[in-house]
Structure 1
Amino acid sequence: MNNYETASILNKGMTVYGESVKDVLAAIDLNEAYDYMMDLASRKQPLNQSIIRDLNRLSIAKTHPDWAGVYREPFEIEAAMGDLVDWANENRDRLHRVQYAADLYLKFVSIHPFRDGNGRTVRLLMNLALTEAGYPVINVFPDEKSRNEYMDVLATGRCEKKSQPFEDLIGKYAEKTLLKRIKIL
């Protein structure tokens, strides 16, 4: 690293390529969390709170180390997360895997257990559920239009307790990703 690069990082918080240091650190964190998620998927073990906390811890380790893997309100949230884990392990093999992944996602976001990184953590959890069953990793909102659709069906799932629209959306992403993979093959 030369003096210009160092000065840019220290004075502006920006890399020489115009990316903020925070964004670079967040990308490194997410990459490490993704690698952990893929390792977990290969083991196909039951879900537990330690796995969820580790996914969150890894996804924000460099950007918010004090919050990483720590529940917002430990006593209340730990019980809710225990219920989530129980539900997950009871339904993992009973529901279609795409429906399971979508329902796990909805249940997690209704708890919102962490101060930061809930979105990253839940997308990792959802992709863990999918990948364990042989599905590819899906990208939930690759563009603004998709993000708006996602926000609408997520709100419907959370506020109106209707999971079908969100399950359909995740199913659509899974199908689209599978078709792309098949086309490549």
Structure 2
Amino acid sequence: MHGPAQAGWLLVALCAATGAYCLLRMRSRIEAQRHTAGSEALMGFGMALMALPAAVIAPPRWAWLGYAVVFGAAALRALWAARHNRHHLHHLVGACAMVYMAAAMAATPTAHAGHGGGGAPALTGALLLYFAGYVLWSGARLLPVPTLAAAEGGGGGAGAVMGWGDRTELAMACRLSMGIAMIAMLLTL
């Protein structure tokens, strides 16, 4: 997960900002947004930590194993939540990808981007294809759409003020940015 330092810092900033916004979404008045926001915040902050440039911190092997355990638990939670909301299937794939990257880094802790990472090329390629498709799909969904609050009647009248956590287009932009960040992290594996 460690490439050139400047790209690493940009990836850290992008993922941390996305995680912070997802924490704000946890305060949404819309139940569907609250349910997914916690998983997305965990993913954003976890990706930010894993993307820290190697010059700053070279995590010991147990840290990678810790990431694998945390995201393994997140994968189980996403699998359970997918019974009610199919968007959690994407969270399941993302959490499994994080487990995969953490396990690859634990297996070869000295391998960094461009220096012979420890991932399986076929699985890495499949995950890259999935996230590339997800990024294209998410980008297409950013076309102007009515807000979820208005569609569910949660926003009141046309002049109702929406909170930051209720902005559907911002949530979609965060998902798009995390998909792009996942591609960047997989490319460095």
What is the TM-score when the length of structure 2 is the normalising length? 0.28
Give the number of the structure whose alpha-carbon radius of gyration is greater.
1
